[in-house]
Structure 1
Amino acid sequence: MSKIKICGLSTIEAVETAVKSGADYLGFVFAESPRQVTPEQVRAITENVPDAVKKVGVFVSPMSQEVEAIIKAADLDFVQVHGEPLTETVSVPIIRAVSIRKSTALPEAGVPEAGVEEYLLLDAPPAKYMGGNGTVFDWEAVDPAKLPQEKLFIAGGLTPENVASAIRYFQPLAVDVSSGVETDGQKDLKKITAFCQAAKEETHVSATNN
């Protein structure tokens, strides 16, 4: 049963809509991005978020000390790392983001010998920013059967229109969207609701058919 992550949140209205629509993870960008927020902002807009909904901080090539400070300041439950990976553990689980190209060698997320990451996120190659660029990677460049589906997040150009296809193809732990629920660069509350509804409907269909 695939869960839902709404990323790049920066307003209380978008956070509340994501929670009410059934999102399981809320993503907050601490790297350079139009969606960049501060730990103080995250604290303020997530004050009433239920404990069951997990807060994810998104970083690019960070230092462990920086990440740990923001975990505490923003009260994060997970961190998502693009670019250079962390070489040390931090106090919450790490989601390792990998940009998919034809020649990409995937790390074995969840295998202790592979590093400190516990989860794997597949994303499109970076454009101006490491993520949230609204482009879909070549799904057929990876074999879902070789992926740790119970630890797998799928991102990269997902929308309310194609999220069902992503769930059918990858059967991931979670699907992750940012620009696909925006209009003119701002979170669109109707699109957030539509994305969550489409993901939940496909998850229900997949569960019924298995």
Structure 2
Amino acid sequence: MTAGRSVRVKICGITDAATALAAAEAGADALGFVFAPSRRRVTPEQARDIISRLPPFVARVGVFVNTPPGEVGEIARYCGLTAVQLSGDEPPGYHVDFSLPVIRALRLGNGRPLPNLEDYRCDAFLFDTYREDCYGGTGSTFDWSLLKGLPRPKPFILAGGLNAANVADAVRVARPYAVDVSGGVETGGRKDIQKIKEFISLAKGVEP
């Protein structure tokens, strides 16, 4: 985590404009739009409409799983994304031919070997919990201390089972650049504005 700055927060799985605007008002630094199979999936048209209503200085991150690079680029341009997140089995050399920042999601824990970060072409890493045949959204944490021994050539983003009850501890242990949450701020499968506000307040309340 950058000295003197609180952790950034990404609220992922945004599916409607009201939630997007409320999350931005609550202090979210980034919003995630899922273009992969998921109950939180949005179409490019839906994402473009939501993004068109957002205030400036809130990052718009598209989440993709094993999508051809050309298609990623088309959706990014159409929707007005400011970053893309690759959350599938894309090989280390996978390359998208445009200038947007790329976040590589890597899954840890449950016996998964630690990756060689130098192999990947990206601008930041997101670490999530490993579960076979699941590309995120497990609702489970991994051992955050695994990140202590990894070199940090790029910013680290922490995901996987985060919620208001554990995010402060996660920030203290893993010292990430940012945290990413989706299910941990939902009630009955829908984003809960009060949970979003509480999560952001607790995450950013940890001393840098």
Q: Normalized against structure 2, the TM-score is what?
A: 0.89
DSSP-derived class of the 1:194 partner: helix
Counterpart-to-counterpart distance in 1, 2:73 and 2:107:
24
With 39-48 and 80-89 compared, the bigger mean Cα shift is at: 80-89
Measured against aligned partners, the alpha-carbon deviations of 1:72-113 in whole angstroms (never above 9, x if no partner) come to 1111111111122261233211111111023422232xx5xx
Q: Over aligned residue pairs, what C-alpha RMSD do you find?
A: 1.7
Q: Normalized against structure 1, the TM-score is what?
A: 0.88
Structure 2 counterparts to residues 132-151 of structure 1, below 5 A = 132-140=137-145, 142-148=146-152, 151=155
Measured against aligned partners, the alpha-carbon deviations of 1:149-195 in whole angstroms (never above 9, x if no partner) come to 86110000000111101110111110000000001111111111111
Aligned residues: 199
Counterpart-to-counterpart distance in 2, 1:46 and 1:107:
34
Structure 1 ranges of 4+ moved more than 6 A: none
Q: State the identity as a percent.
A: 38
2:73 equivalent among 68, 77, 81: 68
**Alignment pair present for 1:104 and 2:113:** yes
Once the 2 structures are TM-superposed, how far is the Cα of residue 40 of structure 1 from its aligned partner?
1.1
8 A contact 2:33–2:62 mirrored in 1: yes
2:96 aligned partner, one-letter code: T
**Alignment pair present for 1:153 and 2:157:** yes
**Alignment pair present for 1:170 and 2:174:** yes
Counterpart-to-counterpart distance in 2, 1:107 and 1:42:
33
Corresponding residue number in structure 1 for 2:127 = 122
**Alignment pair present for 1:95 and 2:81:** no
1:71 aligned partner, one-letter code: A
Change (3 A) 1:83 1:150: closer
**Alignment pair present for 1:186 and 2:190:** yes
More helix by share: 1
Counterpart-to-counterpart distance in 1, 2:116 and 2:79:
28
Unaligned runs of 5+ in 1: none
Corresponding residue number in structure 1 for 2:3 = none
Measured against aligned partners, the alpha-carbon deviations of 1:15-48 in whole angstroms (never above 9, x if no partner) come to 0111011111100000000000011111111223
Unaligned runs of 5+ in 2: 1-5
